[in-house]
Amino acid sequence: MIRINLAPPSAKTRGAGLGAPDANLGLIFGVAFLVLLGVLGAYWWKVSSDVAWLSAEIERNEREKMRLSALIAEGQRFKREKEDLERRVNAIETLARNQARPAYLIDAMADLLPADLWLTRMEEKGQQLRLAGTTYSSVALSDFMSNLKASGKFKEVDLVESRQDLTRSPRMITFEVSCHFEI
């Protein structure tokens, strides 16, 4: 035979089966909910303070960027002016260096020309110098070439062309000499 107990359980048997003390679940969940709200509130407060700090940092960095951009622009302007001045100085130095060469050439030539010899053309390409002129005698032309060689400033002195016009009186010799001028 089977017995069925339809009576409500007694207080003794209710707690005895679970082995846990009687606790109010509503109170436990209420406390857990309050703790959870406290943790979420603290997290929200930390995040909002981080956002405020980062916003202030961004604003400080933007002000610094504006200040530095003005300095950078001024530095770039000085750099451009410096490059322009360097270019000008280099141009002046090159001009002064190249300007002295013709003066030295003319000065050297004035000391070497015989009395009865005239230069009609001087042409310089690189180091090569071509001199053209006229004279009354071949001796003056020979003296001129000897003077060029002896000066030490003119190297590789060669007579390119020499013509004497027999139809005119006095007879003129036209010539062309090539050499290298070295300062």
Answer yes or no: is pLDDT of 130 > 70: yes
- The string of pLDDT tens digits covering residues 2-46 is 788 777 776 555 554 555 556 789 899 999 999 999 999 999 999
Whole-number pLDDT of residue 104: 79
Query: What is the pLDDT averaged over residues 106-111?
Result: 84
% of the chain surpassing 90 pLDDT: 57
Cα distance between residue 44 and residue 55, in whole Å = 16
Q: Cα angle vertex 111, ends 105, 153, to 5°?
A: 45
CA dist 158 → 81, 129, 130, 177 (Å): 50, 11, 10, 6
pLDDT at 110: 84
Model pLDDT, residue 182: 80
Reply yes or no on whether the pLDDT at 155 is more than 80: yes
Output the 3-class SS for the chain.
CCCCCCCCCCHHHHHHHHCCCCCCHHHHHHHHHHHHHHHHHHHHHHHHHHHHHHHHHHHHHHHHHHHHHHHHHHHHHHHHHHHHHHHHHHHHHHHHHHHHHHHHHHHHHHHHCCCCEEEEEEEEECCEEEEEEEECCHHHHHHHHHHHHHHCCEEEEEEEEEEEECCCCCCEEEEEEEEEECC
Phi, psi of 123 (to 5 degrees): -135, 125
